[in-house]
Amino acid sequence: MDKLILIDGNSIIYRAFFAMPPLTNSSGLHTNAVYGFTNMLLRLIQEEKPTHILVAFDAGKVTFRHEGYQEYKGGRDKTPPELSEQFPLMRELLESFGISWFELAGYEADDIIGTLSKQGEDSGREVLVVTGDKDMLQVVSDKVTVALTRKGISEVEPYGPKEIEEKYGLSPLQIIDLKGLMGDASDNIPGVPGIGEKTALKLLHQFGSVEEVLARTDELKGKMKENLVNHSDDAVMSKRLATIFREVPVERSWEDMTFNGIQGDTAAPMLRKLEFKSLIERLSLISGDGNNENDGSNEKDQAAAASEVEVTVVDSESVSELNELLPTIESMYLESYGENPHHANIMGLILSTGERHFYLSDQFLLDKSQAEAVIKWLGDGNYPKRGYDLHRTDLVLHWHGIPFAGASHDIELAAYLLDPTNNDQTVSALAEKYGLAHVASDDDVYGKGAKFKVPDTGTLSKHLAHKIEAITKIIPLQQGDLKKNEMNALFFDLEMPLSRILADMEKQGVSVDRESLVELGKEFEVQINKLVSQIYDIAGQEFNLNSPKQLGEILFDKLGMPVVKKTKTGYSTDAEVLEKLAPYNPIVQYILEYRQLAKLQSTYVEGLLKEIRPETGKVHTYFRQTVAATGRLSSQFPNLQNIPIRLEEGRKIRKVFVPSEEGWFMLAADYSQIELRVLADISGDKGLQEAFLHDMDIHTKTAMKVFGVSAEDVDSNMRRSAKAVNFGIVYGISDYGLSQNLNITRKEAAKFIDQYFEAFQGVREYMDSIVKEARRDGYVKTLLERRRYLPEINASNFNLRSFAERTAMNTPIQGTAADIIKLAMVLMDKALYDHQLKSRMLLQVHDELVFEVPPEELELMTKLVPETMEKALSLSVPLKSEVSSGVNWYETK
């Protein structure tokens, strides 16, 4: 069966250009749009396996649509030169791939595609049109599918007649009527004023076509009718402009469009010229060895091989075969249940030599006599382990009594470093990203929620085999990417070693004094009950205090208090609002106190109690190393990075975190002002550096410089303002944000900021240059080359762009601070080992490390920890760490 793919070259290349970060090859040629296009093309070829392909382009500026309507496509921004220079490259690349393309003066790519899709359809062939232009939906039929790009060009959404009906309730041809009524700003097609998509759809559902709407305007009323009557000509013309012309004299025969697979001998040199290294690797996967064996059968073989992957289900007979191959295992993957690795059962394990895959069921793996050699291999650090989420693997195996060692390449962790904001880092998504054979998503194979079900061994082992094939292929590709981004040290010397250290901390856990916690809960309970009855009393009724909706009704409807702020669903009742309402009625203060205690009770008493392991009396958090966009860690099940400290009531919770051994101490050390010290270093601001070189109180020093007074004249208010400004600077300051924080006007906030930048000019220069850098590169970096891409830095939407700019300012600061404490953790782990200490590292809280320490090591640790933290990284200003210890976490202050 023939299958033709028609691609709207202009549409795709435009979208690729704006979706991709700027990219140039070593001779300065811009290549990002071509790269995006090629990436998409390779994926299409792999997934759709077309027999024919043609790429259509617009030719020249003037088309037949300009006859009678000069303004067509008027008001468009000029094509940026960075994009223009990529069109010739595009054509050259297509020719090198053996793919035909076509353009014709006076016609748009749309019309060429419309014509060829009609010809294909008429001769009974299957056609797939790829474009970003919704207008194209009008050519959809049983034979013609239109794939629209989404999210830039990284995804396409196929539309057949059914999908159009579901989404719009229209037939494909009615798409033209839709455009006629609503117009299209990007093509400067006017449509009818006041009619947008919603109204247009309503009209079409009622009348069916533009002509019918115009003929029956007497059935309508109001402004809409008026507009339709007054602009009926516009509607008719707009419909005509939106109609794709399907009789273009196309000089391409069916044979001309034949696609015989990518011609490796010409395509590879072209990709090399463009310096698309990762695409060259993909090319070899698609076109075999890159020679001329690219007939259809080869591709079919590959597809078949992918679905019929061979996997050995290990049993008492085949285990000896695996045992012999253990030293040659390339990669591994452990599948387990649920989110919390400390409570996860094993579903299965797959090991791969690259050629052969071995699946072990949980029963087999947990049978220590049968799986003896495999278990030994897992725990032997001399055998490197490459795989996916080895941190989780380590924990899951640990709780099943199986030691794990030797993690050397974790593709999830590497994927995180290569793009920390990409939140879909599943094997399936990574396989797609690297253009590998499709790997089904876990949800598709296992089902989710109530439908979750482990499939039979055959299905499961094959799914895992597909995963391990992808993992094995991704490893070398990532190694190339990491090297290119100069992230080898970050990955191999910092993050990979850290993942083992985190696993050790998590296995160790923190002891919780359950009885004290229960007692504390009882105290809270008494106070909460008292507050609740006082609140109901004043309200004159009982209601659900935990429901912001019901609370809002009581405060604003029943008690008639002024509405300070609204949320998208109703009245806002957050603490900021309640503070403002406090003078009106004593109920407000009670509610604030209730909120505080209810939070402590539900999250920190009840929540924490649920997480204590009864056997050990410990909580075992799970530090996540691949979620925070800045490079920080996060903590789950329970979150031990947000235990209360600011208010005394809550701070008492810290008393229940105790050493796990009799007579030991808790010891905590935190970096003092690490983010501002990092800022002093990377901005090079002399004043800021000097302040830290003399170890001054930074907020007082800031107040002195900003307000132009001497140290003695800084009052508490000035210091408070300066502190807020310092925070603002770290977050990527805006006058609005600062005004909110300090409860002052925006003007006053703007003045503070201005004075700050006058006083610290180096900081101003840094903020300007980092935003410029982000615009130029599409990403920002930390001192250790950790990256964060900021695709929205060039957005036309003010909000998106502003957000990206603040992120550009904040991420190098927060991220470098994260780098530093991670370095300190690796050093501390080594120091504990080198000194053969019994002390254990338990927690990291962004700028703080918490240990439990036997009494005989307390003196040593009190020196060793801050010293180690301070020498983690050498900056132009000193790092400072403050240490303290006590019988529980509360006392380390």
Which is nearer to DNA, 17 or 623 (by Cβ)? 623
Which is nearer to DNA, 379 or 737 (by Cβ)? 737
Q: How many residues bind DNA (CB under 7 A)?
A: 76
Q: Residue 320's CB: how many other CB atoms inside 10 A?
A: 11
Strand 3-8 versus strand 126-131 pairing type: parallel
d(CA 307, CA 301): 10
Which is nearer to DNA, 245 or 543 (by Cβ)? 543
For tokens 């399907």, name the residue: 246
Which is nearer to DNA, 226 or 792 (by Cβ)? 792
Residue from 573, 683, 689, 839 touching DNA (CB under 7 A): that is 573
Q: Indicate the Cα dihedral angle 587, 591, 593, 595, nearest 10°.
A: 180
Binding mask 822-861 for DNA (x = CB under 7 A): -----------------------xxxx-------------
Residue from 429, 629, 783, 827 touching DNA (CB under 7 A): that is 629
Which is nearer to DNA, 87 or 543 (by Cβ)? 543
Residue from 199, 353, 550, 794 touching DNA (CB under 7 A): that is 550
The tokens describing 787, both together, are 């990256």
As measured in angstroms, the least distance from the Cβ of 419 to DNA is 12
As measured in angstroms, the least distance from the Cβ of 264 to DNA is 41
For tokens 């404490």, name the residue: 821
Residue 449 touches DNA, criterion: CB under 7 A: yes
**Closest Cα partner for 470 from 521, 440, 427?**
427
Binding mask 642-681 for DNA (x = CB under 7 A): xxxxxx--xx------------------x-----------
Residue 449: left (phi > 0), alpha (psi -120 to 50), or beta? left
Residue from 637, 664, 756, 789 touching DNA (CB under 7 A): that is 637
As measured in angstroms, the least distance from the Cβ of 797 to DNA is 8
d(CA 747, CA 245): 57
As measured in angstroms, the least distance from the Cβ of 210 to DNA is 33
Question: 24-63: which residues touch DNA (CB under 7 A)?
Answer: none
As measured in angstroms, the least distance from the Cβ of 40 to DNA is 27
d(CA 5, CA 129): 6
Which is nearer to DNA, 92 or 848 (by Cβ)? 848
Which is nearer to DNA, 424 or 576 (by Cβ)? 576
Q: What is the DSSP string of 710-750?
A: -GGG--HHHHHHHHHHHHHHHH---HHHHHHHHT--HHHHH
Residue 876 touches DNA, criterion: CB under 7 A: no
Residue 441 touches DNA, criterion: CB under 7 A: no
Residue from 549, 558, 747, 830 touching DNA (CB under 7 A): that is 549
Q: How many residues does the chain have?
A: 893
The tokens describing 35, both together, are 């790269």
Question: 599-628: which residues touch DNA (CB under 7 A)?
Answer: 599-600, 602-603, 606-607, 610, 624, 627-628
Residue from 547, 761, 876, 884 touching DNA (CB under 7 A): that is 547
As measured in angstroms, the least distance from the Cβ of 803 to DNA is 5
As measured in angstroms, the least distance from the Cβ of 424 to DNA is 14
Interface with DNA by CB under 7 A: which range of 30-38, 169-177, 259-267, 544-552? 544-552
Cβ atoms of residues 600 and 649 within 8 Å: yes
Interface with DNA by CB under 7 A: which range of 251-259, 456-464, 476-484, 633-641? 633-641
Question: 306-325: which residues touch DNA (CB under 7 A)?
Answer: none
The tokens describing 562, both together, are 């002024």
d(CA 228, CA 241): 18
Which is nearer to DNA, 258 or 641 (by Cβ)? 641
| Reduced 3-state DSSP string for 658-718 | ECCCCCCEEEEEEECCHHHHHHHHHHCCHHHHHHHHCCCCHHHHHHHHHHCCCHHHCCHHH
Which is nearer to DNA, 576 or 882 (by Cβ)? 576
Q: What is the DSSP string of 169-203?
A: S--TTHHHHHHHHH-BGGGTB---TT--HHHHHHH
Residue 768 touches DNA, criterion: CB under 7 A: no
Query: Residue 366 burial by CB count (10 A; 0-12/13-18/19+): exposed, middle or buried?
Result: middle
Cβ atoms of residues 718 and 707 within 8 Å: yes
Residue from 639, 660, 672, 755 touching DNA (CB under 7 A): that is 639
Contacts of 597 (CB under 8 A, 6+ apart): 524, 527, 528, 531, 649
Residue from 63, 312, 635, 689 touching DNA (CB under 7 A): that is 635
Residue 632 touches DNA, criterion: CB under 7 A: yes
The tokens describing 392, both together, are 């989780």
Residue 525 touches DNA, criterion: CB under 7 A: no
As measured in angstroms, the least distance from the Cβ of 825 to DNA is 14
Which is nearer to DNA, 51 or 807 (by Cβ)? 807
Residue 568 touches DNA, criterion: CB under 7 A: yes
Interface with DNA by CB under 7 A: which range of 149-157, 208-216, 634-642, 858-866? 634-642
As measured in angstroms, the least distance from the Cβ of 645 to DNA is 4
638-677 residues labelled b (16+ CB within 10 A) or e (exposed): bebbebbeeeebbebbbbbbbbbeeebbbbbbbbebbbbb
Cβ atoms of residues 827 and 873 within 8 Å: no
Which is nearer to DNA, 19 or 845 (by Cβ)? 845
As measured in angstroms, the least distance from the Cβ of 581 to DNA is 12
Question: 389-428: which residues touch DNA (CB under 7 A)?
Answer: none
Which is nearer to DNA, 231 or 788 (by Cβ)? 788
The SS3 assignment for 821 reads helix
Query: Residue 562 burial by CB count (10 A; 0-12/13-18/19+): exposed, middle or buried?
Result: exposed
Question: 706-745: which residues touch DNA (CB under 7 A)?
Answer: 724-725, 727-728, 731-738, 740-741
Which is nearer to DNA, 558 or 599 (by Cβ)? 599
Which is nearer to DNA, 436 or 849 (by Cβ)? 849
Which is nearer to DNA, 325 or 532 (by Cβ)? 532
Interface with DNA by CB under 7 A: which range of 66-74, 163-171, 522-530, 542-550? 542-550
Largest CA distance in the chain: 95
Contacts of 538 (CB under 8 A, 6+ apart): 585, 586, 587, 590
Contacts of 502 (CB under 8 A, 6+ apart): 391, 623, 625, 633
d(CA 676, CA 689): 10
Question: 786-825: which residues touch DNA (CB under 7 A)?
Answer: 798-799, 802-803, 806-807, 810-811, 814
As measured in angstroms, the least distance from the Cβ of 139 to DNA is 33
As measured in angstroms, the least distance from the Cβ of 566 to DNA is 8
Residue from 239, 342, 462, 595 touching DNA (CB under 7 A): that is 595
**Closest Cα partner for 8 from 129, 172, 89?**
129
As measured in angstroms, the least distance from the Cβ of 847 to DNA is 3
Which is nearer to DNA, 150 or 368 (by Cβ)? 150
d(CA 382, CA 371): 19
Cβ atoms of residues 160 and 148 within 8 Å: no
Interface with DNA by CB under 7 A: which range of 82-90, 268-276, 514-522, 594-602? 594-602
d(CA 758, CA 761): 6
As measured in angstroms, the least distance from the Cβ of 821 to DNA is 9
- The residue type found at 79 is T
